[in-house]
Amino acid sequence: MKIERIGSRGVCFTYEDGDAPMGGNISVYLINTEKRIFLCDTHTGPKSMDIVKKYINDNGWGSKELIIFNSHSDWDHIWGNCAFGDATIIGHEKTKERMQERGRYDVERMSRFHNGEIELKQPNLTFESILGFEEDEIEFIYAPGHTIDSSMCFDRKDSVVFAGDLLEHPLPFLNHHDLRAYLHSMEIINSYSAEVILSAHSGIVNEDLLKGNIDYVRCLLDQGAGGCPDKLHIEAIVQNHELL
């Protein structure tokens, strides 16, 4: 476990999950504003959130309203929702739909990765395009690409983007066929010129990684999988999806 302060009010918790299907690490991001605490993603179960809750209490933030944000509905980002009782959970409309459609299936098929007893908790505050908390200088933006329901969080005060799985090292992971939408989402990230960009599986990423991910998706659009680097990687990820 690595805990890292970011900017004036952010804390990144990185879990070492080398045996998970995606391998590598998984990060969640906590933002402490004047009146609220925002938690971006909740890892693989309620036990994972024990360290987050302890951090909140140890720093005297326990009396603040806690709001959870699910960047998308993949199991390794949502299973810890149930650690926070009746907290507000924000997600895109399609995030809630996907959890309803396949949430229970994922709980059963990935049972070996449960970190505590899993109770599925779906978003109870959904949005279509953008949801803003003006006084907190926090925005949640729909950004399809990695999945059809992907979204990101932008902390305007600290100029930090939490991108979930939209960006990866070395290449983006494609679970949605609309590459033009994916390209648009990554160009939105680029337009923010954020001081810090956080990827859930790759930690803090730089502009070169963002540019590389953008160029890769552009290549797929222009040339298809056969004309881009690492063809086998793409074929394995896309599986039965049709790219174009």
Do 207 and 173 contact (CB within 8 A), yes or no? no
Do 152 and 196 contact (CB within 8 A), yes or no? no
Question: Which of 13-27, 30-44, 210-224 is the least confident region?
Answer: 13-27
Compute, in degrees rounded to 10, the torsion defined by CA atoms 175, 178, 183, 185.
-80
Sign of CA pseudo-dihedral 165, 168, 172, 175: negative
For residue 242, the tally of other CB atoms under 10 A from its CB is 6
- Domains of the chain and any CATH numbers: 2-238 (3.60.15.10)
Compute, in degrees rounded to 10, the torsion defined by CA atoms 206, 210, 216, 219.
-130
pLDDT in tens, 86-108: 999 999 999 999 999 999 999 99
pLDDT at 174: 85
Given a cut of 60, whether residue 236 has pLDDT beyond it is no
The pTM assigned to this predicted structure is 0.91
Compute, in degrees rounded to 10, the torsion defined by CA atoms 174, 176, 181, 185.
-50
